[in-house]
Chain A
Amino acid sequence: MVAILAAVQEGAEGVVATSGNWATEHAWLIPVLPFVAFFLILAVGKRMPRKGSEIGILTVAASFFLSLIILIGDYVGGGGPVVEHAIEWFPFAGTFDLDLGMKIDGLVAVMFVVVTLVSLMVQIYSTAYMHGDKRYTWYFAALNLFTFSMLNLVIADNLIQLLIGWEGVGICSYLLIGHWWEEHENSSAAIKAFITTRTGDVAFLVGIFVLFAAADTFNITEIIHKVEEGEISHATLTAAALLLFGGAIGKSAQFPLHVWLPDAMAGPTPVSALIHAATMVTAGVFLLARLFPVFEASTQALNFVALIGAFTMLMAALLALIQDDIKRVLAYSTISQLAYMMAALGVGAGNAAIFHLFTHAFFKALLFLGAGSLIHAVHSNNMSEMGGLKRVMPTTYKTFMIGSLALAGIPPLAGFWSKDEILTEAYRFGTGAVDPHGTQVVALIVYIAGILTAFLTAFYMSRAVHLTFEGTYRGKGHPHESPPAMTGPLVILAVLSVVAGFAGIPGWQSGFGAWVGVGGETHVPSADFVLILVSVAVAVGGIALGRRMYMPAPAREPLERMGFFYRLLQRKYYLDDLYWVAIVRPIRDLFSRAMNWVNQNVIDGLVNGTAAGARVSAQGIYKYVDQKVIDGAVNGAGISTRKTGGLLKYLQGGDVQRYAAYLFAGVAIFAFLFTRFG
C-alpha cells in the first residue's frame, strides 16, 4: 500500500495547479497514518502496555503536526497553492476512471487541523475516560478509523472518494454510538443514527450521479470548472445542489433529519465530542463549501439551504432550552450552530461558515469533554443531579465557562468573531448593502433568526452553567476533579477557544477568509460596530436572564429534600414547573413543545408509517413469493438433484482402478474423435 501511495507523489494523473512545500505535497500521509493505526491497534493493540491507545495518539499527533505545518507553511496569510495529485484506482474502460487522489487547498488545510486536533484531544481524554472499558482497544481502533474516514472525505479530489469517506464516517459513528451495545437503548440510538443519515445519503448519491451525468467526471476541480464555464444547465445544477444538500441535511443533522443527533448521545462522551466538533456533522458543511460553486450557480438552491438553516437554528435552540440531560443541551446546541453554518453558506458567506466551523470545533469539543468530565464525576447526565461543582472541579468549571461564553458569543472569545461575521454578512446581504448571492429577503430572515438564536444560545448555556456549577450539589456520592489526562485537553481547547477567533478578526485582509477562500471568495468583511453591539447585547441579555432565573433555584432544593414523601412529590412537581413551565417562558415553552410534538408525532410517525408499510409488504412477499415461488424452486432443484444423484452414485464404486479405466477409456475415445474428425 505504501508503494501505491508513494505513486501519488509521481502525480501520474490529474492537474497540478501549483506545488506546495514538502508537507503539502505529502498531505496524503495525514489520512494514511490513522488508517494504518487502525490496523495496528487491531493487530497488536491488546499486547501493548497501554492497550493500543498509544498507537492512536502517536499517529494522530503526527497527522496533526503535519496538518499544522501545511496550514502555517502554505496557507496562513492567504494565497496558498492548490495541490492536486491522483493515481488511477479503478479504470472502468471507456466510461470513467476512478481515481484515488488528493486536492489540498486552504479549506482542506483548515479541516485537517480541526479534525486531527480534536481527534488527538479526544484520544488523550479517552485514555482516562474509558479507562477499564472492556472494549478499550477496539474503541481506539474505531476512533482512528473514524478519523481516517473524515480525513479521506476531506482530502478527496473526486466525489466517489469523498463518498467513501462519507459512508465510512457513517459506519464509524454507528460503531461508536453503539459502543456500549449491551444496553438496548444504545444500540437503538446507533441504528437510528445510521438509518437517518443514510436517508440523506440516498439523495446525496443521486446528486453525485446527476453531477456525473452532467459533467462526465467525478473530479471536483473539473466539475467546478465546468460549472463556472456555464457548461451545465441551471436546472441540472439546482437539482444536483438540492440532492447533495439532502446528504448534508442527514450528516449535519438539519431539519427534518436532525432526530438522530440527540439520541447519538448514547455513545461515550468523547465520541460525542468527536462527532459534534470534527468528524461527522461538519462533513455536510464541508461538502457545501467544497462544492460551493455548484450551489452558487443556483439561487433557488442557496435560498433553500439558507431557509433550512434559519429554521433549524431556531428550532434546535428552542429544544435545547428544556433539556435536563447536559449532553442533550449540547447536542441541540450543535444542531443549532451547524444550522448557522448552513445558513451562512446559503446566503453566500462561505468563508464565515467555515470560520464558524473552525471556532465551533474547539469550543464544542471543549464543552462536550467538559460535560464528560462532569458525567465522569457525578455518574449522571442530568443537570438536576449536578450543581455546586464549581468548587470541587475548578479546572472543569473554568474551561467549561470559557466554552460556554465562546458559544454564547461574548467578545473576544472565538465564537463571537465567527458568529458575528455570519450575522454581519447576513445583514449586509439582507439589507442590500452588498449584492446578495441568493434572495435578499432570505438573507434578512437568516439575520433575524441568527439574532434570536444567539439570544437563546446565551440563555440555555447560562442555564446549563448555573444548574451545573452554581448552588449546591444535588447528586449522589462525592464528585472530584478529573485526572490530568482529561483536564489537559480541556485546558488546551479552552486556550484555543479564546485565541482561535483572532484568525478571522474583521478587517484583517489576509485573515481567515483569505486562507480558505470558499468559492474563490477571499473578501474579508469590515467590522460594523452597531451590529457588534447588537449581538453582544443579545448575548449578554441571554446570559443575564439565565442567571436571574437559575441562580437562586438550586439553593432551595436541599432544604426540600429533607422533608417527607409528600414534599418530595411536591418538589418533583416544583422541578417540573421550574424546568417546563415557569422558567421557560410560556410562549417559548409552547413553541418548544410544538416542536417536540412535530418531532415525536409527525416525523417519527412518518418513519414508523414507512416501517409499518414495509413490514406489511414484506409479510406478503414472505408468504406468497418467498414461501411458494422461491422455496418451491429451491426445493424442486433439491429434489431433482437428489434423484439424479441417487442414480449416478453407483458410478462411484470405490474401486480406484475402475476409475482409472474410465479415465483412460475417455482419453482414448477423445483421441479417436480428434484424430478422426478433429
Chain B
Amino acid sequence: MNLAWVLTLGALLFSIGIYGVISRRNAVLVLMSIELMLNAVNINLIAFGSYFGDQAAVGQIFALFVIAVAAGEVGIGLAIVLMIFRNRETVNLDEVDLLKW
C-alpha cells in the first residue's frame, strides 16, 4: 500500500479531530474528537512501522500504549463531564468558564 495514502488518511482524521475539538460545544463530542486525533496518530505510527520494516514492532506496541492511555483518558474525561453535568446541569463548554481571570 502506498504510504502517502495512509498518511493522508491520518492527516484528514487529525484535522477532523481538531475541527471537532475547537468547534463542538458539547463536551462529549469534544472528547470523541480527541479520540479521533489519537487514532490518527495510531494510524501514522503503524504506517511508518510497516514502511520501515519494523522487526521489533515498536510502532505497533506504541500504538497499543496510545490506545491504553486513550482508554484512561476517556474514562477520566467522561467522569469529569459527568460531574460537571451533575453540578451545573449542562455539558456546554462555553458555559463552563469558571477558571478564568
Contact indicator A650/B101 (Cβ below 8 Å): yes
Secondary structure type dominating chain A contacts: helix
Q: Is A655 touching B97 in the complex (CB atoms < 8 A)?
A: yes
Residues of chain B within 8 A (CB-CB) of A559 are none
Contact (A654, B30) CB under 8 Å given A660-B22, A664-B22: no
Give the complex CA separation of A657 and B18 in angstroms: 10
Q: Are A664 and B23 in contact (CB under 8 A)?
A: no
Q: Is the CB of A660 within 8 A of B101?
A: no
What's the Cα separation between A649 and B30 when bound, in Å? Answer: 25
Which of B22, B24, B94, B101 contacts A661, CB < 8 Å? Answer: B22
Are B22 and A653 touching (Cβ within 8 A)? no
Query: What is the interface of chain A, defined by CB distance below 8 A to chain B?
Result: 649-650, 652-657, 660-661, 664
Min Cβ gap A78→B in Å is 67
CB distance B30 to A657 under 8 Å? Answer: yes
Instruction: Give me the 5 closest cross-chain CB pairs, A-B, nearest first.
Output: A654-B97, A654-B100, A649-B101, A661-B22, A652-B101
What is the interface residue range for chain B against chain A? 10 to 19
Cα separation A657 to B24 with both chains bound (whole Å): 9
Closest to B17 in A: A664
CB distance from A654 to the nearest CB of B (A): 3
- Give min CB distance, B76 to chain A, whole Å: 15
B100, closest chain A residue (CB): A654
Cα–Cα distance between A649 and B94 once the two chains are bound (Å): 18
Contact A654 B98 (CB under 8 A): yes
1/0 per position for B67-97, CB-CB distance to A under 8 A?
Answer: 0000000000000000000000000011011
Is B1 close to A, CB under 8 A? Answer: no
In the complex, are the beta carbons of B97 and A657 less than 8 A apart?
A: no
Q: Which residues of B contact A660 (CB under 8 A)?
A: 18, 21-22
Do B18 and A655 touch (CB < 8 A)?
no
Does B99 have its Cβ within 8 Å of any Cβ on chain A? yes
Determine the distance from Cα of A598 to Cα of B84 in the docked complex, in whole angstroms.
78
A560 to B23, CA, bound (A): 104
Q: Would A653 and B97 count as touching, CB distance under 8 A?
A: yes
B22 to chain A: which residues have CB within 8 Å? 657, 660-661, 664
Closest CB of chain A to B84's CB: distance in Å? 11
A662 closest partner in B (C-beta) = B22
Inside 8 A of B98's CB, which chain A residues have their CB? 654
* Nearest chain A CB to B20 CB, angstrom units: 10
Which residues of A are found within 8 Å of B30, using beta-carbon distances?
Answer: 657
Q: In the complex, A660→B98 CA distance in Å?
A: 17
A-B contact pairs, 30 of them (CB 8 A): A649-B101, A650-B101, A652-B100, A652-B101, A653-B97, A653-B100, A653-B101, A654-B96, A654-B97, A654-B98, A654-B99, A654-B100, A655-B93, A655-B94, A655-B97, A656-B93, A656-B96, A657-B21, A657-B22, A657-B23, A657-B24, A657-B30, A657-B93, A657-B94, A660-B18, A660-B21, A660-B22, A661-B22, A664-B18, A664-B22
Taking the closest CB of chain B, its distance from the CB of A664, in whole angstroms, is: 5
**Bound CA span A652–B100, Å:** 5
Shortest CB distance B30–A (Å): 7
List chain B residues, Cβ under 8 A from A664: 18, 22
Give complex CA distance A651, B21 in Å.
19
Closest to B98 in A: A654
Residues on A with C-beta less than 8 A from B96 are 654, 656
Cα of A657 to Cα of B94 in the assembled complex, Å: 8
| Assembly CA distance A654 to B92 (angstroms) | 13
A653 to B24, CA, bound (A): 17
Residues of B within 8 A of A650 (CB): 101
For A667, the closest partner residue in chain B by CB is B18
Residue of B nearest to A645 (CB): B101
* A664-B97 Cα distance, complex, nearest whole Å: 20
* Closest chain B CB from A663 CB (angstroms): 9
The residues in B between 1 and 58 inclusive whose CB is less than 8 angstroms from any CB of A are 18, 21-24, 30
Closest-by-CB residue of A relative to B14 is A664
List the B side residues contacting A653 at CB < 8 Å. 97, 100-101
- Closest chain B CB from A662 CB (angstroms): 10
A661 to B, closest residue via Cβ: B22
CA distance A655 to B96 in the complex (A): 7
Q: Which chain A residues lie closer than 8 Å to B18 at the CB level?
A: 660, 664
Contacts of B23 in A (CB 8 A): 657
Whole-angstrom distance between the alpha carbons of A653 and B18 in the complex?
20
Q: Please give me the residue from chain B that is nearest to A653 by CB atom.
A: B100
Set of chain B residues within 8 Å of A656, measured between Cβ atoms: 93, 96
Whose C-beta in chain B lies nearest to the C-beta of A649?
A: B101
Residues of the A chain whose Cβ atoms lie less than 8 Å from the Cβ of B97: 653-655
CA distance A661 to B20 in the complex (A): 11
Given contacts A654-B97, A660-B18, A660-B22, 14 further A-B contacts (CB under 8 A): A649-B101, A652-B100, A653-B97, A654-B96, A654-B98, A655-B93, A656-B93, A657-B22, A657-B24, A657-B30, A657-B93, A660-B21, A664-B18, A664-B22
A654 to B22, CA, bound (A): 14
| Complexed CA–CA distance, A661 and B30 (Å) | 13
Which B residues lie within 8 Å of A649 (CB)?
Answer: 101
CB of A571 to closest CB in B, whole Å: 82
In Å, the complex CA distance between A428 and B23 comes to 102
Cβ–Cβ < 8 Å partners of A652 in chain B = 100-101
**In the complex, A649→B21 CA distance in Å?**
23
CB-nearest residue of chain A relative to B97?
Answer: A654
Residues of A with C-beta under 8 A to B94: 655, 657
- Residues on A with beta carbons closer than 8 Å to the beta carbon of B21: 657, 660
Q: In the complex, what residue of chain B is closest to A660 when comparing beta carbons?
A: B21
Q: Which residue of chain A has the shortest Cβ distance to B18 in the bound complex?
A: A664
In the bound complex, CA of A656 to CA of B81 (Å): 13
Residue of A nearest to B19 (CB): A664
Task: List, in ascending order, chain B residues with CB within 8 A of A661's CB.
Answer: 22
Complex alpha-carbon distance, A190 and B22, angstroms: 66
Contacts of B101 in A (CB 8 A): 649-650, 652-653
In the bound complex, CA of A362 to CA of B22 (Å): 83
Give the chain B neighbours of A655 by CB distance below 8 A: 93-94, 97
Q: How far is the CB of A306 from chain B (nearest CB, A)?
A: 75
Kindly report which residue of chain B lies nearest to residue A664, judged by CB atoms: B18
Q: How far is the CB of B37 from chain A (nearest CB, A)?
A: 10
Please report the C-alpha to C-alpha distance between residue A664 and residue B23 in the assembled complex, in whole angstroms: 13
Complex: A660 Cα to B94 Cα, angstroms: 13
Task: Report the Cα distance A596→B23, complex, angstroms.
Answer: 88
CA gap between A650 and B101 in the complex, in Å: 7
